[in-house]
Structure formats: structure tokens, C-alpha cells
């Protein structure tokens, strides 16, 4: 998906791809987007985005990217800085250079050593173990009572 080969496309090659799957939107370094950015295809961000980013597919936030936005996508790969809440219905992958300041809602979370995640993390599809928590509380109470005795 996010291959980085230095292959320069000519018109015929580019057009040979036409009719395939949804195109990839690229926000390169030096470009700033303000507002609600919606896309149907993959999105690669290397620049600056303020507002919100929403895509029906995958999102990659590059190493030099800065995002001040709420993000929603299926799979999110973060290598840069993101300030705002992130919702990934699939997988959220944080590389060692990732810096996230906001709440995260994901199904699968992959964190590399060195990544920064400041915010609440909620896993989609996992029920909160309340019963277990209650049991632990009870155990705590018993322990406290015994200690007092």
C-alpha cells in the first residue's frame, strides 16, 4: 500500500492503473490542510492537517507530519505527531517516532518501543471486566478487615 519506490510514472503506466481500486490521497510535506478532510481511499499524510481526517480505508501519518485533528480510519499507522482523538476500527500501529496526544479507540494496538501515547485507550469489541473488578474490591475489603484485626 504505502510503497516508497522512486519509480517515476509516465502517462501510459499511470493510466494503465485506471479502473483499479480507489486512489491514494497524498498530503505531502509543505502542504497544510484546514477543515474536514474526507476520503474514500488510502490517505498518506506528510504535511500539516487541522480539523478532522476521515477515510474508509487506511491512513498513514508520516514521520514529519503534524496532525491537529480527530482521525477516523480502518487501519492507522502513525510515525509522526497527532494531537486529537484517533479511532481505528482495525489496527493502530505506533512506530518508535510516534507521538499521540489524545484518546485512542482501536481494535488491535501495536506499539513500538519509544512511542508516546498520552491519552485514554479503549479497545473495541472487548467488554469491561466489571465482575472481576468487583471481586478484586471484595478481596481488598477482606484484606483491610484482616489487617485491622
Partner 1 sequence: MQKTKNDGGENLPQKVRPKAVRITLEEARGATSARRKEGAQKTAARRVSEPAYSYIYDTFIQEMKYLKLLRELENRLVDLGIGGRVHRLSCFKNLQEIIKDDVVREVKTVVIVGNDESFIRAIDALGETGVVAGFIPIGGEKENQLAKIFGIGFGAVACDVLSARLLRKIDLGVVNGHHFLTNIDIPAANFFLECDGRYNLSFLKSADVRICNLTGQAESGERAIRVLNHSDGFLETIVYSKSRGFLDGVKEIFKKEEGVEKLSIFYNKKVNVVGSAPFVAWIDGRKVFNKKLEISILPGGLKMIVGRSRTI
Residues at the interface with partner 1 (CB under 8 A): 4-12, 14-15, 17-20, 23-39, 41, 44, 46-48, 51, 62-64
- Interatomic CA distance for residues 17 and 8, integer angstroms: 14
Q: How far is the CB of 80 from partner 1 (least distance, A)?
A: 11
Residue 120, phi then psi, degrees to nearest 5: -80, 140
Indicate if the alpha-carbon torsion angle 27, 29, 71, 123 is positive or negative.
Answer: positive
**Residue placing its CB nearer to partner 1 in the complex, 21 or 147:** 21
* Nearer CB in complex with partner 1: 40/141: 40
CB 38 to partner 1: min, Å: 7
Q: How far is the CB of 115 from partner 1 (least distance, A)?
A: 18
How many CA atoms lie within 13 Å of 59's alpha carbon, on the beta-carbon side?
A: 32
Please, which residue, 48 or 117, has the CB nearer to partner 1?
A: 48
Candidates 48, 52, 55; CA nearest to 36 is 52
Amino acid at each position: 500500500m504505502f510503497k516508497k519506490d522512486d519509480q517515476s510514472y509516465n502517462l501510459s503506466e499511470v493510466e494503465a492503473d485506471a479502473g483499479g481500486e480507489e486512489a491514494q490521497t497524498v498530503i505531502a510535506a509543505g502542504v497544510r490542510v484546514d477543515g474536514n478532510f474526507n476520503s474514500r481511499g488510502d490517505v498518506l499524510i506528510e504535511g500539516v492537517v487541522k480539523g478532522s481526517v476521515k477515510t474508509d480505508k487506511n491512513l498513514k501519518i508520516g514521520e514529519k507530519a503534524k496532525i491537529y485533528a480527530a482521525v477516523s480510519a480502518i487501519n492507522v499507522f502513525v510515525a509522526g505527531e497527532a494531537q486529537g482523538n484517533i479511532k481505528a476500527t482495525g489496527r493502530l500501529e505506533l512506530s518508535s517516532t510516534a507521538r499521540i496526544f489524545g484518546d485512542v479507540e482501536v481494535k488491535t494496538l501495536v506499539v513500538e518501543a519509544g512511542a508516546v501515547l498520552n491519552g485514554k485507550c479503549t479497545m473495541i469489541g472487548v467488554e469491561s471486566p466489571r465482575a472481576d473488578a468487583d471481586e478484586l474490591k471484595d478481596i481488598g475489603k477482606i484484606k483491610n478487615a484482616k489487617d485491622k484485626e
